[in-house]
Structure 1
Amino acid sequence: MKMICRLFIFLAASLLGLNHSISLADDYDPLTFTPRGDTLIVEGVIDDRAIESFIVAINENPNVNSLTLKYVPGSVDDDYNLILSRVVRSMGLGTIIPEGGMVASGGTDLFLAGVWRKVSTNACIGVHSWDYEEDGHIIQATDFPKNDPVHQMYLRYFRDMGIPPAFYWYTLDAAPAADMHWMHKSELKKFNMVTGRDALPNLGKDYYCDQL
């Protein structure tokens, strides 16, 4: 499994044109994976170290069948985030947001990687648009027409995870990149974000999620 995962990561990174030696700021807590029974408790921000940390944790805990996303507020690089998410899906793992847990932005993308997905009471699931700076100007996702190739990386990912393309366009409109929209139970159902037939729980309220 280790060799297969490393090959998958290498090929994916090569296709995306990534540089594994890029320098990242250290003012956040990087993603950690802590074993607990047959799951890994996941906390922190997704960066270029997350994939290696994940593979180490899986190799040391081969009985793991899920990731419990306790607190994953986002990522610092969308490319690495989607590579990690695709590796999680390729391994057939489920994803769980525990009671009071929080995922947002790239953390929500990681949640959608689960072959089965479970959400608990008072969980917070945040989405927003993306942007980047170019020559001193902030470029918004909504500055590009819907047929622009810049959207395709995300649309392919959601399609491959079994999530309708409408979810991506919804995230762009839900909140600007500097803000966050906390999803409601009806939205989880609309976009097929939770698997199984269990009744959907009540999610965390905005004022609660904003404080996490």
Structure 2
Amino acid sequence: MTDTADTGTPRGKQRNPVARVLMGVLVFQLGIGGLLILGDMQGLRLPTFGPDAPRLTEPVRPGDQRRTFRPDRDRPVTQPARDPGQLPNRLVLTQTDGTTYRLEGGISAGDADRLAAMILQSDPRPETLILQSPGGSVQDALALGRTIRAEGISTQMLRGEFCYSACPYLLVAGATRDISPNASVGVHQHYFGQNTFLPAAFAVEDIQRGQAEVMTYLDEMGIDPLVMQHALSTPPDEIYVLLPEELERYGFIEAQD
């Protein structure tokens, strides 16, 4: 008897797109790994392709979605719902109204355990988290995201506010997700691993392990891992801003009738 998901689709076939993406990521990383090793041995820098990306203050249009990633300098062009001022370097949880809380700031090492404890101890317990973050620690974002999903907490983004880099992993963890069409969600390549003194050949293993964890996590959260094609092709000093139709396509938001 064929094992099927709730939709009646054979489970093996359902997983094939994920397997293809994982294989593509592996091939991509092996190629990058070879270039890194060559650069490590010969003191070379990887080339960059195409013109420099414009700043975040420039409007984003289909096919023109890569922007320089300087969150300390640039904000999306859309007028935000409120001026948050200078965001903190670590995540801050602030009650706004009843069971609605804001979760804002950079994602630092240790934030997952610290914020999970705060969420579980809050009275009243958060039911909705309004997110705004330039990103940070991927591992902490994944761990905190799993707490958000386990607690059945919804996530939200308001007009003109942003969620970049590792922040979308918190966003997709929401039991439900409410994203303003004028909010800005962006992805790019991540740094993985802690030891910068190892040769690049060893760093490749960290990259592959980290990307596998991210792909598994996205699949757990019901997000199409093909969104990673944009992340993998965008360097860490740039951000790829997802359009509303892409947020729908990859499962961040429900399809509109």
TM-score (norm 1): 0.68
CA 1:85–1:176: 2 relative to 1, 3 Å: same
CA deviation digits over 1:13-38, x for unaligned, max 9?
xxxxxxxxxxxxxx952100111222
1:151 aligns with 2:211: yes
Q: Structure 1 segments of 4 or more deviating over 3 A? A: 131-139
1: distance between equivalents of 2:178 and 2:215?
Answer: 22
Name the amino acid aligned to 1:157.
Answer: Y
Is 1:53 aligned to 2:112, yes or no? no
The 3-state SS of whatever aligns with 1:180 is strand
Q: Does 1:97 align with 2:146?
A: no
Contact 1:35–1:61 under 8 Å retained in 2: no
What secondary structure is seen at the aligned counterpart in 2 of 1:95? strand
What is the 5 A alignment of 1:40-189?
Answer: 40-47=101-108, 48-69=110-131, 71-75=132-136, 77-131=137-191, 134-135=196-197, 148-173=208-233, 175-189=234-248
Structure 1 residues 99 and 152, CA gap change in structure 2 (3 angstroms): same
1:32-47 equivalences under 5 Å are: 32-36=92-96, 37-47=98-108
Report the Cα distance in structure 2 between the residues aligned to 1:51 and 1:122, rounded to whole angstroms: 31
Quick one: structure 1 residues 105 and 55, their matched pair in 2 at CA, closer, same or farther if it must change by over 3 Å?
A: same
Counterpart of 2:183 in structure 1: which amino acid? Answer: A
For residues 150 and 56 of structure 1, the distance between their equivalents in structure 2, rounded to whole angstroms, comes to 27
Change (3 A) 1:137 1:73: farther
- Measured after TM superposition, the shift of residue 149 of structure 1 is 4.3
Contact 1:163-1:191 at 8 Å conserved across structures: yes
Partner of 1:30: 90
Change (3 A) 1:97 1:138: farther
Q: Percent identity?
A: 25
Paired letter, 1:74: G
What's the CA shift for 1:136? 7.9
Residues in 1 aligned to 2:246 and 2:200: alpha-carbon distance in whole angstroms: 29
**Higher Rg of the two aligned structures:** 2
Letter in 2 for 1:152: A
Inter-partner Cα distance in structure 1 for 2:210 and 2:158: 33
Higher strand share: 1
TM-aligned CA deviation for residue 189 of structure 1: 1.5
CA RMSD of aligned residues (A): 2.8
- The farther-off stretch of 149-158 and 159-168 is 149-158
User: Is the 1:94–1:117 Cα contact (8 Å) retained in structure 2?
Assistant: yes
User: Runs of 5+ in structure 2 lacking a partner?
Assistant: 1-86
| SS in structure 2 at match of 1:99 | coil
Q: 1:123/1:82 Cα in 2 relative to 1: closer, same or farther (>3 Å)?
A: same
Cα distance change on mapping 1:116 and 1:43 into 2, 3 Å: same
Equivalent pair of 1:73/1:102 in contact (CA under 8 Å) = yes
Kept in 2: contact 1:128–1:177 (CA 8 A): yes
Tell me the residue number matched to 2:77: none
Count matched residues: 165
How far did residue 78 of structure 1 move?
Answer: 1.6
Q: Partners of 1:31 and 1:149 in 2: how far apart?
A: 25
